[in-house]
């Protein structure tokens, strides 16, 4: 059995390829448009350079594949506000192209989404809430989910959409999310910028738990939509306190006005993923941060 991991040289992709190589007998093929991080890719994986928007390249990458894990994406709320057309080209049209080329040959399609489609809701977030995206990024991810449902109904392609919470962990040199920025700044002794009062919260999930959920999605029989996180919320100030403790650094905070389009309180219910995917997070925030900080230290802070 072979799985195609799109965006396999990205943050989650590199971790997923290592995870699948360790816990499964799946043959792994990676499609990624960049060579920049290929040097970190597990040598057991086959690599194809290309873009999910390109039909011939996608058809080549899909040849002989039983499963697809679509991690290829334009990421981030702020970049999507700055360039919504670019965001839609990749996250909507790219996903649609990948689904179209998968419809008659692939057994199951796993799509990486996020909580961004939901917008502001009273937490915990769950699968039954009405989507109200606050950013083009959230709208694009919602469109991807919609196309997954449509291809399931129209073509019989088994699809699973996983709404990842705020993921952190190794191989995150290019990530601009809070955990990774805070760790890099702390290790360098630089001030950390916090937009707003720092009381905004996120569901911080370690990347190995995300890999667990993806693996169980591949091997199980379930289809549909699932939130994947820890079910717990952590404020940015709490996060900074723990990073300061684990790095032994005193972190200076530079407060700036809050930014439009960003959700203030965000954590999810993982009850459905637990009951239908047998998903259960294994890493506490402390343990996950310890592993992440250790990796950054080995990479000289970067």
Q: Where in the chain are the domains?
A: 2-165+205-231+269-282
**In whole angstroms, what is the distance from residue 10 CA to residue 76 CA?**
14
Instruction: Report how far Cα 171 is from the mean position of its chain's Cα atoms.
Output: 13
**In whole angstroms, what is the distance from residue 33 CA to residue 56 CA?**
14
**In whole angstroms, what is the distance from residue 176 CA to residue 99 CA?**
28
Angle at 212 between CA 37 and CA 210, to 5 degrees: 60
Angle at 8 between CA 145 and CA 21, to 5 degrees: 110
Three-class DSSP labels, 143-160 = HHHHHHHHHHHHHCCEEE
Length of the chain: 302
Classify domain 2-165+205-231+269-282 by CATH number: 3.40.50.720
Does this model's pTM top 0.75? My answer is: yes
φ, ψ for residue 58, nearest 5 deg: -65, -40
Task: Let me know: does 109 contact 46? Beta carbons within 8 Å.
Answer: no
Report the candidate in 218, 278, 206, 221 with the shortest Cα–Cα distance to residue 27. 218
Beta bridge partners of 193: 254
Say what the pLDDT of residue 301 is.
47
Q: How far is CA 148 from CA 88, 96, 127, 245, 269, in A?
A: 16, 8, 15, 42, 22
Say what the pLDDT of residue 265 is.
81
- Give the residue numbers marked as catalytic: 137
Per-residue pLDDT of the chain (302 residues; tens, 9 = 90+): 999 999 999 999 999 999 999 999 999 999 999 888 899 999 999 999 999 999 999 999 999 999 999 999 998 888 999 999 999 999 999 999 999 999 999 999 999 999 999 988 999 999 999 999 999 999 999 999 999 999 999 999 999 999 999 999 999 877 778 899 999 999 999 999 999 999 999 999 999 999 999 999 999 999 999 999 999 999 999 999 999 999 999 999 999 998 876 778 889 999 999 999 999 999 999 999 999 999 999 987 45
């Amino acid at each position: 059995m072979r799985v195609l991991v799109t965006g396999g040289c990205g943050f989650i992709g590199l971790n997923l390829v290592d995870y699948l190589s360790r816990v499964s007998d799946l043959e792994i093929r990676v499609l990624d448009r960049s060579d920049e991080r290929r040097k970190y890719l597990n040598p057991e994986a086959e690599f194809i350079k290309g873009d999910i928007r390109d039909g011939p390249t996608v058809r080549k990458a899909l040849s002989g594949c039983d499963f697809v894990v679509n991690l290829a994406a334009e990421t981030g709320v702020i970049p999507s506000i700055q360039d919504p057309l670019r965001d839609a080209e990749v996250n909507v049209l790219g996903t649609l192209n990948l689904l179209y080329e998968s419809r008659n040959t692939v057994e199951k399609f796993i799509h990486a989404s996020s909580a961004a489609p939901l917008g502001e809701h009273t937490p915990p977030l769950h699968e039954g809430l009405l989507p109200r995206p606050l950013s083009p990024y959230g709208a694009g991810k919602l469109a991807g989910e919609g196309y997954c449902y449509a291809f399931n109904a129209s073509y019989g392609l088994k699809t699973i959409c996983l709404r990842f919470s705020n993921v952190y962990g190794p191989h995150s040199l290019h990530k601009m999310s809070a955990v990774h920025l805070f760790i890099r700044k702390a290790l360098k002794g630089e001030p950390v910028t916090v937009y707003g009062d720092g009381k905004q919260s996120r569901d911080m999930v370690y990347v190995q738990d995300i890999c667990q959920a993806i693996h169980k999605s591949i091997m199980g029989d379930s289809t549909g939509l699932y939130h994947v996180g820890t079910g717990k919320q952590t404020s940015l100030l709490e996060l900074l306190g723990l990073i300061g403790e684990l790095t032994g650094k005193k972190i200076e905070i530079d407060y700036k006005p809050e930014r439009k389009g960003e959700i203030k309180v965000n954590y999810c219910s993982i009850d459905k993923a637990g009951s239908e995917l047998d998903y259960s997070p294994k890493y506490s925030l402390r343990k996950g941060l310890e592993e992440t900080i250790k990796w950054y230290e080995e990479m000289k802070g970067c």
